[in-house]
Amino acid sequence: MLSLGMHSRRSANSRLAHALLVLLLCVVPALQAQPAPRATVASPHPLASEAGLSILLAGGNAFDAAVAVAAALAVVEPYGSGLGGGGFFLLRQGGSSPSYLFIDARERAPLKARPDLYLKGGQAQRRLSLDGPLAAAIPGIPAGLAELSSRHGRLSLEQSLAPAIRLAREGFPVDRVYQSRAQMRLAALRDDAESARLFLDAGEVPAQGFVLRQPELAASLEQLASAGHAGFYSGELATRLVEGVNRAGGIWSMEDLASYQVVERIPLQVSLADDRQLITAPPPSAGGVAIAQSLLMLQQLPWREAERAQRAHLVAEVLRRAYHDRRLIGDPDYVDTPLPRLLAPDYLEGLTASISSRKATPSTSLGTPAALHEGEDTTHFSILDGDGNAVAATLSINLPFGAAFTVPGTGVLLNDEMDDFAVDPAGSNAYDLEASQANLVGPGRRPLSSMTPTFIDSADQLASFGTPGGSRIPSMVLLAILEYLDEQPVQAWVAAGRYHHQFHPDRIQHEPDAFDEDAMATLRERGHTLDNVGRRYGNQQVILWHKSSGQVDAASDPRGIGQSLQAPAAKP
């Protein structure tokens, strides 16, 4: 009986082991069967998308590809970004428990900067903060590229920068977007001999197809490629930059460059309905806060069921309140931004309760206007690799072609981001927006920004959003997110008509085709003033990863010339 009992126990154990083995054999293929996403790049210029995809196909990850795309855009979109500018990189590090990181490569004010830098005789001299070397803050893009490559990439910086170096040396054909931006800044470009030589053709906007070569920029990129961060912020190139800026009337120092570092920040992360997570830009971006507040307010309102005009009314009202709070936000290294209060449920419930479903709220009834002034010619791209790593990056030099000042012998076109500060502490800017004490000019400070690279992550999907567009960036990203939440295809996210409210001036700005006549009449009945801006704006680049199938959808804004590219599908 004993031997029989032991045999029975062995048999039972054997059956249990067999069952566990069968279960394991069923589960493991199921886990393995979940396909990896196809590596995808969506950028505002086909040559930049090609550069990013080539790096992915060479074994690089999303972070290497981000270096390649950002550097290529510095060459082919000098009106939107460049080595002389700055930006924000939102990273998703893939895996079973993804993590997120925000790299703040925003420009910093020179150490000699003071709140009255642009005041002469007590009056703000706006031209000084817009054109020329005094308008330029210390660039952050070179440091951002070096950081991405050394801390997060698989390939060397030399490999990731190679496509941009080739584009700068061999040249690229001028397109219609380049022409329109150059025409906008033609006078400023002509005023600087080096910029005129590099970006114009005999003092005029180049013809379409004109091959624009930048050998000096290629050499500066090679310095960055060989020496990393030090290749730009110290040594021969740094000396040339400082001497060139100061010779023309700027206030840079070698210490400004030597002390520049990117800041790794924790992204702003907010729980939304349906177990979705909003991961977006923290201060010194004001955009992430505005989007978070707007979405949390809209969750309390029937926006999804509303027809076009009523939805626009509700969106305008939440934006009005979110932009009102912008005045409280500044560089978090210098200003205590009250984020917990701005995102507190009871505070947002109070804001939502103040919204009438039938009547616009006059902005004057909400108090002090927010400070707001940014150039619109920024750039954005989105990247996803086969491991679930992702980058959403928004980069800028502020106005088209930045300060329109290129440091001789370097090919580095400088930003005019100093104008993003409150350059007139006692007055208002060119858009009649009053100054923010949280965003005053100060030594080493980063100016407030609306740049808002954004993810929405969930168990089923990852969506990536972002666009250029200055103060309209948050509203554009919000409208794209609403299309996503409405389960519309990615092409609809980037193509939908756009509208915007920024608290002051108290009006809904909109594209010509955003509303039909009935919708406009309804909005006017609600008490809104409509302002047709007379053109389409923005240049969104979006990606949607369906995690269960591995399918990846991407779209580039039809308003631009961008292109979304994918790696070839894996062979079965």
402 assigned to a ligand binding site: no
Model pTM score: 0.91
R_g (Cα) of the chain, nearest Å: 25
Sequence-ordered strand ranges (E) for 428-476: 454-457, 461-465
pLDDT at 96: 85
**117 falls in which pLDDT band (50, 70, 90)?**
confident
pLDDT at residue 70, as a whole number: 98
Q: Cα torsion for 18, 19, 24, 29, to the nearest 10°?
A: 100
424 lies in the same domain as 467: no
Quote the CA–CA distance of 449 and 439 in Å, as a whole number: 10
Place 2 in a pLDDT band, splitting at 50, 70 and 90: very low
pLDDT attached to residue 375: 58
Parallel, antiparallel, or unpaired for β 263-265 and 99-105? Answer: antiparallel
What residue type is assigned to position 265 of the chain?
R
Percentage of the chain exceeding pLDDT 70: 89
Amino acid at 259: S
Whether the predicted pLDDT of 274 surpasses 50: yes
Lowest-pLDDT range of 150-164, 177-191, 227-241, 323-337:
323-337
| Residue 15 maps to a domain | no
pLDDT band at 95; cut points 50, 70, 90: confident
Q: Is 383 annotated as a binding residue?
A: no
Domain presence at residue 162: yes
Residue 367 has a pLDDT of 76
Q: Is 396 annotated as a binding residue?
A: yes
Judgement on whether residues 256 and 308 belong to the same structural domain of the protein: no
Judge whether 69 and 41 are in contact, CB under 8 Å: yes
What's the sign of the alpha-carbon dihedral 200, 202, 204, 207?
negative
Q: Mean pLDDT over residues 392-406, rounded?
A: 96
Cα–Cα distance measured from residue 551 to residue 113, given in angstroms and rounded to the nearest whole number: 49
Annotated binding residue 106: yes
Q: Is 266 known to sit in a ligand binding site?
A: no
Any domain includes 353: yes
What pLDDT was estimated at residue 436?
A: 64
Average pLDDT of 450-461? 97
560 phi and psi angles, rounded to 5 deg: -115, -160
Mean pLDDT over residues 257-278, rounded?
Answer: 97
435, 464, 480: which is the final residue of a domain?
435
Tell me, yes or no, whether 112 and 253 share the same domain.
Answer: yes
Give the model's confidence band at 337: pLDDT under 50 very low, under 70 low, under 90 confident, else very high: confident
Indicate the pLDDT class of residue 439, thresholds 50, 70 and 90: confident
Res 167 pLDDT > 80: yes
Cα separation, 386 vs 36, in Å, equals 5
Considering the domain architecture, whether residues 342 and 418 belong to the same structural domain is answered as: no
Domain for residue 2, yes or no? no
Strand partners, 144: none
273 and 255, same structural domain?
Answer: no
Task: Judge if 87 and 222 occupy the same domain.
Answer: yes
For residue 144, the model assigns a pLDDT of 98
Catalytic residue among 40, 280, 337, 378: 378
The answer to whether residues 153 and 285 belong to one domain is no
CATH number of residue 498's parent domain: 1.10.246.130
pLDDT at 377: 67
**In sequence order, what are the residues at sequence separation of 6 or more whose Cβ sits closer than 8 angstroms to the Cβ of residue 172?**
47, 75, 76, 211, 212
Asked if residue 182 is part of any domain, the answer here is: yes
Q: How confident is the model at residue 369 (pLDDT cuts 50, 70, 90)?
A: low
Are 418 and 458 in a shared domain?
A: no
One domain, residues 539 and 484: yes
pLDDT at 21: 43
Domain count of the fold of the chain: 2
In this structure, of 26-40, 195-209, 257-271, 309-323, the range with the lowest mean pLDDT score is 26-40
Residue 570 lies in a domain: no
- Tell whether residue 556 is among the known ligand binding residues: no
Tell me: do 355 and 474 sit in the same domain: yes
Assess if residue 125 is contained within a domain: yes
- Average pLDDT of the residues in 104-132: 88
- Confidence class of residue 424 from pLDDT cuts 50, 70 and 90? low
Q: pLDDT-based confidence at 228, cuts 50/70/90?
A: very high
CA angle 390, 319, 108 (to 5 degrees): 55
Pairing verdict, β 508-510 and 530-532: parallel
> What whole-number distance in Å separates Cα of residue 332 and Cα of residue 453?
18
The closest of 560, 439, 468 to 81, measured between CA atoms, is 468
Residue 235 is part of which domain span? 40-262+374-435
The CA-atom distances, in angstroms, between 157 and each of 55, 149, 387, 490 are 11, 6, 20, 32
Per-position b or e across 363-395, b if 16+ CB within 10 A of its CB: beebeebbbbbbbbbbbbbbbbbbebbbbbbbb
- What's the pLDDT score for residue 433? 37
Nearest by Cα to 230 from 203, 261, 205: 261
Helix, strand and coil in the chain, % to nearest 5: 40, 15, 40
Is the pLDDT assigned to residue 29 strictly greater than 70? no
Q: Based on the domain organization, do 243 and 183 belong to the same domain?
A: yes
> 444 in a domain, yes or no?
no
Task: Indicate whether 73 and 160 sit together in one domain.
Answer: yes
Average confidence score pLDDT of the chain: 90
Q: What is the 8-class DSSP label of residue 175?
A: -
Residue 529 bears catalytic tag = no
Q: Which tokens go with 537?
A: 């704006």
